[in-house]
Structure 1
Amino acid sequence: MINFGSRNLSLLLISFLLASIVAVRWVDKVRWWAGKDEMAGRACSSARPTSPLKEFISAASPVNKPAQECPDYFKWIHEDLRPWKETGITREMVEKARPTANFRLVVIGGRAYVETFSRSFQTRDVFTQWGILQLLRRFPGRVPDLELLFDCNDSPAIPQPLNSSAAQPAALFHYCGSDSTADIVFPDWSFWGWPEVNVRSWGQLAIEMKAANQRKRWRDREPYAFWKGNPWVDQGRQDLLRCNVTDKKDWNARLYVQDWVAESKAGFKGSNLAGQCTHQYKIYIDGRTWSVSRKYILACDSPVLVVEPRYYDFFSRGLSPLTHFWPVRADDKCPAIKYAVDWGRCHQTEVQEIGKKGSTFMFEEVSMDQVYNYMLYSLTEYARLLKFKPVVPAAAVELTRVGLMSSADELSRKFMLDSEETSSTVVASPCSLPPPMKPEEIKLLLAERVNTTRLVEHWEKLHFEETT
């Protein structure tokens, strides 16, 4: 986001809102979306003009970003820590998060110590700690002294203060957040591997998925929206299954239930993520909360139909509708999915661009280099706010390579070795952290996303009015 002056930002916001209204009215007149004639199988024109709203958003995006500046989503580090900006973080604020935390992390003099409160589900805690150990190896001497609590469960646990006069929330690190919570969002364990489901580190998978994208071009893929996962963790996913093809109705979706028990017995032969870039469209939908599958789904060069998410992880706040993904309404998924795929068939140039931008975002802006950069700045900015001196608890143990690997099984050790940082990956300096966003910038950014999503819903409504 560009750092505009307050007056210019206000004018831009007003212009944006006006442009949104004009865009909707213009669409209503010109009807450039796929209308009933096109849906009936008549010739589609992929040369039709793109949305004026999308052009407006593109015009407002940074065009001369410094090469060494971190991706824009790094700005959310400041926002995650904003509740404590004025007061700092006291030991009491940290200890308030103790009931839900799995472990305490202490870094002193570049060495890490962990006090375990409770083991997490599977090896989430182990691979999160492995990732922190790799961070210390990648940036020796750069991680400041700190003390924090970490929650490895699915759901964010810290309620957002209701107003500015409310007490500061507990300080707790977690894998995801929501509009109603104040957890400090941090990269999840799967970036270093998830042995229980045979998912390798993101560094390895990214290479494999790039190669898979080259082997099977978008035009040669199945012309449907693909999803495969566990539907029993959330009602929204169970509802998604209604959109599967039947002998009576085809919503342009091909949906599959992932049975992890059966997959484990079969050696995970049917769950190779790099082998799932076989459809022209992919679907992302939250699980119990966020899903680690988001990065793998976005990496396929196929436009991703994102069912309105309730949760975000550390990088997803950098994604924009109609730029990196196609938004899908949560309350009426099936028609929205059908419309998106039908629209894409008539606008293949545009949807391929969305797919390519989504995968480019994952490969470049969420590379392991950037994951480590994000971790470093998140911890550094957090440490600046501490109002107490970190100490190593009596029950803590030092976090070491030997200690983590000695207690791991064979597959976990393999994943650790595959994702290990070596002397050749030590870097002199990370990317440059962008400054905090001003309130006006945040409002403009959120308005862009809302208005773009509403515009897609407007296209859907007009299309269904014409075809019914």
Structure 2
Amino acid sequence: MLLLRLSSWLLLLVCLDPFRHEVPGALASSVPSDAKTLVWGPGLETDIVLPARFFYIQAVDNSGRNLTTSPGEKTFEVKIVSPSEQFTRIWIQVLDRLDGSFLVRYRMYATYTDLHIQILLKNKHVAKSPYILKGPVYHEGCDCPQHSSSLWEAHMHCPQSFPQIDRDLSFYASVDPDRNAQEIPQRFGQRQSLCHYTIKDNKVYVKTFGEHVGFRIFMDAILLSLSRKVQLPDMEFFVNLGDWPLEKRKPTQMIHPIFSWCGSNNTRDIVMPTYDLTESVLETMGRISLDMMSVQANSGPAWPEKNATAFWRGRDSRQERLELVKLSRAHPNMIDAAFTNFFFFKHDESLYGPLVKHVSFFDFFKYKYQINIDGTVAAYRLPYLLAGDSVVLKQDSGYYEHFYNELQPWEHYIPIKADLGDLLEKIQWARDHDEEAKKIALAGQQFARYHLMGDKIFCYYHKLFQEYAKLQVTEPKIREGMELVEQPADDLFPCFCHRTQAKDEL
């Protein structure tokens, strides 16, 4: 069965990413060809507006073979200029993924009439360089929404559907904003922290319930960012700001639609990308250092040089984590697990300590095997673990993030039992089947590179809001006590929106 799954995975991988394959006989010393090297990605398209735009370079030699090791971090030079401007306020990073490919990301701090993206190899233009983005090319802070949601999705190359959205909304034949506005605050507003949002004429309004509402900044930010890019439908919804999903009623009962960052097998919440992943997308090349792009350039040594030990660091937010540290003490040659902080089980610190110093996340990938165990709810580090160059051993869990539905055990990760009863056995399997483990690691990495980048996160939110809005049977309203969430000021580099009002195709 395992061999069959791995065969299926290999076929899928070829279909998913035609540019990344190992060619027998490819030499580490191969020299890239400026004419044959490949360049592609959303950052080469005018209409894809992201906080940090990005595209890819795959080094190819003169014989047409993809390089599978790095030709050197400084191999390619990227320049982005606007002919009509003396200075361009653009920060560029060329990230070496050490597998023969590079991820180029850039963050614009102003809007330009045109952009010329030059990709150079020893002062020669690569592939079809220079790539010309016909303007206006809008930066993240520019409030200039595309009025056609279907056209925006087409420009973004969004998937036609997301399985988790279809599943979550299948519990609701209709949504009544008037009824929800009355019942949800009565049911949850006293004990939980909630945000009640209304989107009206592409403006965001909010009212909060509960004491701990600081996390609304993440929801405010993604709604404002999305509304600057595309006209959102009028809609009204509630967001759970806590860790645990809330709607525990059965589908046969009167359930309420609650948007949450985490779902579970015992609840009916509508799941969104986590606040952590959302913030990393919005702040890429900003104040956040850990994001889906930076991980790809910091995935540790090559597979044969990684430590063949299973690695974990974190805090004591679940009993199984205590058990993991106990296992590590009993089997230090197989598991390196320790706490960096005690909070929930302080009385057990003498049993499971001492605490160890914080380890840079990038240093996790010095190890072949990454253990992913739930914390308070799902462990939100899984996207970043998958994006690295190690294989993930993922605990069986009743909690899930928005993308778990599309992950397959033995294809994208190695499954372990909820009680960790087979963890040692699975680590030993990985050691005994090194090539298979490496292939699973690569499949998980490819999954993250495709499904969990910023463009797909924006697509997910947009599709969710579009499909949810269709279920509404009464008019969304700006309710008493709601306040307008203002767009951030862009006084230094204001932009002028050139879009004309067009009727939405939907």
Partner of 1:414 in structure 2? none
Please, which moves more after superposition, 184-193 or 105-114? 184-193
Shift of 1:216: 1.7
Residues in 2 aligned to 1:148 and 1:216: alpha-carbon distance in whole angstroms: 46
Q: How many residues align?
A: 340
The structure-2 alpha-carbon separation of the partners of 1:54 and 1:352, relative to structure 1 and needing over 3 Å to count, comes to closer
Partner of 2:325 in structure 1? 241
* Structure 2 counterpart of 1:96, from 183, 193, 207: 183
Residues in 2 aligned to 1:60 and 1:199: alpha-carbon distance in whole angstroms: 32
Is 1:259 aligned to residue 341 of structure 2? yes
Shift of 1:102: 1.6
Partner of 1:222 in structure 2? 307
Q: Which TM-score applies when normalising by structure 1?
A: 0.65
Letter in 2 for 1:220: E
Shift of 1:276: 2.4
Identity among equivalent pairs (%): 22
Residues in 2 aligned to 1:204 and 1:283: alpha-carbon distance in whole angstroms: 18
Partner of 1:77 in structure 2? 165
Q: Specify the SS of the correspondent of 1:339.
A: helix
The structure-2 alpha-carbon separation of the partners of 1:338 and 1:67, relative to structure 1 and needing over 3 Å to count, comes to farther
Partner of 1:418 in structure 2? none
CA contact (8 A) 2:320 2:419 kept: no
Residues in 2 aligned to 1:305 and 1:344: alpha-carbon distance in whole angstroms: 10
Q: For 1:16-60, what per-residue CA distance to the aligned partner results, in whole angstroms no more than 9, with x for missing partners?
A: xxxxxxx4xxxxxxxxxxxxxxxxxxxxxxxxxx52355468789
The structure-2 alpha-carbon separation of the partners of 1:394 and 1:96, relative to structure 1 and needing over 3 Å to count, comes to closer
Residues in 1 aligned to 2:339 and 2:286: alpha-carbon distance in whole angstroms: 21
Please, which moves more after superposition, 203-212 or 168-177? 203-212
Q: Specify the SS of the correspondent of 1:258.
A: strand
CA contact (8 A) 1:290 1:313 kept: yes
CA contact (8 A) 1:160 1:169 kept: yes
Residues in 1 aligned to 2:223 and 2:175: alpha-carbon distance in whole angstroms: 23
Partner of 1:155 in structure 2? 244
Partner of 1:278 in structure 2? 366
Q: Specify the SS of the correspondent of 1:244.
A: helix
Letter in 2 for 1:256: A
Partner of 2:201 in structure 1? 109
Partner of 2:226 in structure 1? 135
Any residues of structure 2 matched to 1:381-400 within 5 Å, and which?
381-400=467-486
Is 1:300 aligned to residue 388 of structure 2? yes
Partner of 2:445 in structure 1? 359
Residues in 2 aligned to 1:257 and 1:386: alpha-carbon distance in whole angstroms: 46
CA contact (8 A) 2:198 2:235 kept: yes
Letter in 1 for 2:321: R
CA contact (8 A) 2:320 2:420 kept: no
Partner of 1:187 in structure 2? 273
Partner of 2:235 in structure 1? 146
CA contact (8 A) 1:102 1:118 kept: yes
Higher RCO, 1 vs 2 (CA within 8 Å, ≥6 residues apart): 1
The structure-2 alpha-carbon separation of the partners of 1:378 and 1:201, relative to structure 1 and needing over 3 Å to count, comes to farther
Q: Specify the SS of the correspondent of 2:389.
A: coil
Q: Structure 1 or 2: larger strand share?
A: 2
Partner of 2:212 in structure 1? 120
Q: For 1:234-275, what per-residue CA distance to the aligned partner results, in whole angstroms no more than 9, with x for missing partners?
A: 2222222221134xx4461110212289xxxxxx98343233
The structure-2 alpha-carbon separation of the partners of 1:331 and 1:189, relative to structure 1 and needing over 3 Å to count, comes to closer
The structure-2 alpha-carbon separation of the partners of 1:74 and 1:176, relative to structure 1 and needing over 3 Å to count, comes to same
Residues in 2 aligned to 1:357 and 1:71: alpha-carbon distance in whole angstroms: 20
Any residues of structure 2 matched to 1:400-415 within 5 Å, and which?
400-402=486-488
The structure-2 alpha-carbon separation of the partners of 1:88 and 1:155, relative to structure 1 and needing over 3 Å to count, comes to same
CA contact (8 A) 1:114 1:398 kept: yes
Q: Which TM-score applies when normalising by structure 2?
A: 0.60
CA contact (8 A) 2:392 2:413 kept: yes
Q: Specify the SS of the correspondent of 1:378.
A: helix
The structure-2 alpha-carbon separation of the partners of 1:63 and 1:212, relative to structure 1 and needing over 3 Å to count, comes to closer
Q: Specify the SS of the correspondent of 2:369.
A: strand
Shift of 1:339: 2.0
Q: Specify the SS of the correspondent of 1:115.
A: strand
Partner of 2:4 in structure 1? 52
Shift of 1:204: 5.9
The structure-2 alpha-carbon separation of the partners of 1:202 and 1:178, relative to structure 1 and needing over 3 Å to count, comes to farther
Residues in 2 aligned to 1:245 and 1:70: alpha-carbon distance in whole angstroms: 47
Residues in 1 aligned to 2:156 and 2:458: alpha-carbon distance in whole angstroms: 15
Residues in 1 aligned to 2:398 and 2:457: alpha-carbon distance in whole angstroms: 23
The structure-2 alpha-carbon separation of the partners of 1:67 and 1:369, relative to structure 1 and needing over 3 Å to count, comes to closer
The structure-2 alpha-carbon separation of the partners of 1:72 and 1:381, relative to structure 1 and needing over 3 Å to count, comes to closer
CA contact (8 A) 1:286 1:309 kept: yes
The structure-2 alpha-carbon separation of the partners of 1:211 and 1:375, relative to structure 1 and needing over 3 Å to count, comes to same
Residues in 2 aligned to 1:202 and 1:316: alpha-carbon distance in whole angstroms: 24
Q: Which runs of 5+ in 1 are unaligned?
A: 1-22, 24-49, 262-267, 406-421, 427-468
Residues in 1 aligned to 2:201 and 2:328: alpha-carbon distance in whole angstroms: 55
